[in-house]
Amino acid sequence: MTDESNPGKSSQPPTAALPATGQLLAASRSELGRVIAGQTEVIGQVLVAVLTQGHALLEGVPGIAKTLIVKSVGRLLSLGFQRVQGTPDLMPADILGTTMFRPGADTFSFHAGPVFTDLLLVDEINRMPPRTQAALLECMEERQVTSDGVQRPLPPWFTVFATENPIDFEGTYPLPEAQLDRFLLKIKVGYPAPDDERQMLERHHGASAANLIEDAKIQPLPAQLLAAARDEIRSIRVENDLYGYILDLVRRTREWPMLALGASPRAAISLLRVAQAFAAFEDRDYIIPDDVKRAVLPVLRHRILLKPEAELEGFDPDRVLNDVVAAVAVPRG
């Protein structure tokens, strides 16, 4: 299986086949590397979510730069950024916006909420009440907000990055399977390596976390480069036997003895889209089985449900998915 920890490992200059993607990856390594120490896997998968116009769930303990990564990527790609803190009393209008009466003008006007942005970071999404989670679901699926019967489209690059703690705490509302399935990726954010953590301390010496991005002076990329890279990824070739391979993997999860719930048809589409992005990150205009294998964990780990007896035996989604990948025959072409 290809090393998932290095999503942009190709260090060659942009080729004639994928010039925009190559330029974007080179810029992300040079510019983001001055702000974030390590976390190359996470940064790569955040870029995948933006380029494939999907949404991502980031799981990790507090204080490991989840917000900083998303905000830095937004600065690099010249995209707007807003952050919402999930709390038990957060109402739908707090994130969507509300219609307010304007005294003197005797008219009503809509005041847009933080959801009207390019990159929306929802911190601790599982602390939001179910009603607010449902309101966010429409934004993620339909890319619009309906207020007073009026449909208001969200920006074209609208992407939700939601964070949750890997440990269940009191006062949280588990995300329903329907909403989890709307997330293209579930990205696990771990602690940095010792050398990276030391580098982080050195960078923060004499500077505050709030000014770290400003101090780094990230050079934004032109908007047309992001759109060109997106189009290149969409055009990545897929051979017929790889369609079959993707479907075999997804369908096998539905009959796996350790699973109470397998992956949905939407999961197969997501697996294809992410495999295309991984192929482009390797500077290829076609996907291979390793691209699909590499996409399995981040795409499927949040879409399956283990049986209670499997959890008692110490299984977790990643372990089960690795077993599924090992059991499905790889196409030989």
Is the CA virtual torsion 254, 173, 48, 293 positive or negative? Answer: negative
Phi and psi angles of residue 285, each rounded to the nearest 5 degrees, phi first: -100, 25
What SS3 state is found at 153?
Answer: strand
Percentage of residues in the chain having pLDDT higher than 90: 58
Whole-Å CA distances, 272 to 47, 52, 67, 186, 304: 16, 11, 27, 15, 17
Q: What is the Cα–Cα distance from 117 to 171, expressed in whole angstroms?
A: 28
Q: Which of 289, 291, 271 is nearest to 281 (CA)?
A: 291
**9 has pLDDT over 50:** no
Selected residue with higher pLDDT from 4 and 115? 115
Write the single-letter amino acid at 218. I
pLDDT at residue 168, rounded to an integer = 60
Q: What is the Cα–Cα distance from 302 to 280, expressed in whole angstroms?
A: 24
**4 has pLDDT over 50:** no
Q: Which residues contact 226 (CB under 8 A, 6 or more apart)?
A: 24, 50, 51, 77, 78, 79, 157
Long-range CB pairs of 19-25, under 8 A, 24+ apart, other chains included: 19/228, 20/225, 20/228, 20/229, 20/231, 20/232, 21/229, 21/232, 21/233, 21/280, 21/281, 21/283, 22/283, 23/221, 23/225, 23/229, 24/221, 24/225, 24/226, 24/229, 25/281
Whole-Å CA distances, 204 to 22, 28, 35, 102: 30, 20, 10, 45
Q: Is there a contact between 39 and 5 (Cβ–Cβ < 8 Å)?
A: no
pLDDT at residue 110, rounded to an integer = 82
- Of 49-58, 131-140, 184-193, 202-211, the range with the lowest mean pLDDT is 202-211
Mean pLDDT over the full length of the chain: 87
Using pLDDT thresholds of 50, 70 and 90, give the confidence band for residue 206. Answer: low
Q: What is the Cα–Cα distance from 46 to 41, expressed in whole angstroms?
A: 9
Task: Tokens for 241, please give them.
Answer: 């036997």
**236 has pLDDT over 50:** yes
* Over residues 59-66, mean pLDDT: 86
**240 has pLDDT over 80:** yes
Q: Which of 154, 142, 54, 55 is nearest to 97 (CA)?
A: 154
Using pLDDT thresholds of 50, 70 and 90, give the confidence band for residue 208. Answer: low
pLDDT at residue 170, rounded to an integer = 57
Q: What is the Cα–Cα distance from 148 to 151, expressed in whole angstroms?
A: 8
- Of 37-41, 167-171, 280-284, 285-289, the range with the lowest mean pLDDT is 167-171
pLDDT at residue 1, rounded to an integer = 47
CA-atom Rg of the chain in angstroms = 20
- Of 127-131, 142-146, 208-212, 314-318, the range with the lowest mean pLDDT is 208-212
DSSP state of 255: T
Q: Which residues of 241-262 are buried (b: 16+ CB within 10 A; e: fewer)?
A: ebeebbebbbebbeebebbeeb
Domains and CATH numbers, the chain: 15-227 (3.40.50.300), 236-333 (1.10.8.80)
**24 has pLDDT over 60:** yes
pLDDT in tens, 139-185: 998 999 987 778 899 999 999 999 987 766 555 677 888 888 999 99
pLDDT at residue 11, rounded to an integer = 42
**203 has pLDDT over 80:** no
Task: Tokens for 250, please give them.
Answer: 């997804």
* Over residues 16-45, mean pLDDT: 88
Selected residue with higher pLDDT from 178 and 23? 23
Phi and psi angles of residue 98, each rounded to the nearest 5 degrees, phi first: -150, 160
Q: What is the Cα–Cα distance from 80 to 89, expressed in whole angstroms?
A: 26
